[in-house]
Amino acid sequence: MSTSEQARQMIVTLGEQAKAAWVGTPIDIQWDNRNLIDITARQTPYVDICMMEMGGGQLELGPKPLIKQDGYIVVTACIREDQGSAKALALRDHFLPYYELKDLSVLRTYAGTAHKSVLAKGWMCYPVMIPFWFTRVAQ
């Protein structure tokens, strides 16, 4: 059984492992609800990682049933507009194996799915969404 905070901490741990294993220009991670990267001044690519809890359900009956919480880990590689996609896709491809198809004590993940790139404030953003789930006991 896990909590949302335990799942978030595992997601951060996996992201930091991927960051440490990256070969080349050091990469930074923008975590959800943090303002760690100044995108107005930055020129080099970065990765944005967030956890989106999307649903869940009751798995059993009783006074304190087991609950399944579902969501997505969204890993988005961001590169300045007009710089092509190769570096961003390489970043996304590097981070993806750290998250998909994992059976960890805190959460489990499925295969990731790439989504359409989006232009945001001068940055082309290439997201991949990795479904996850964990169980908790109802209070």
The whole-number pLDDT of residue 51 equals 96
Query: How many domains would you assign to the chain?
Result: 1
Predicted confidence band of residue 34 (pLDDT cuts 50, 70, 90): confident
- C-alpha 36/C-alpha 118 separation (Å) is 21
Structural domain span for residue 95: 4-137
Question: Would you tell me how many other CB atoms lie within 10 Å of the CB of residue 31?
Answer: 17
In the three-class reduction of DSSP (H, G, I as helix; E, B as strand; rest coil), residue 30 is classed as: strand
In order of 17, 79, 95, 101, 121, the CA distances from 42 in angstroms are 23, 10, 21, 32, 12
**pTM: predicted TM-score of the whole model, two decimal places:** 0.92
Nearest residue to 127 (alpha-carbon basis) of 81, 80, 77, 87: 77
pLDDT tens digit sequence for 39-70? 999 999 999 999 999 998 999 998 889 899 99
What CATH number corresponds to the domain at position 107? 3.30.2000.20
The whole-number pLDDT of residue 138 equals 85
Bridge partner list, 51: 73
Calculate mean pLDDT across residues 72-82.
97
pLDDT tens digit sequence for 102-126? 999 889 999 999 999 999 999 999 9
Check whether 1 has a pLDDT greater than 70.
no
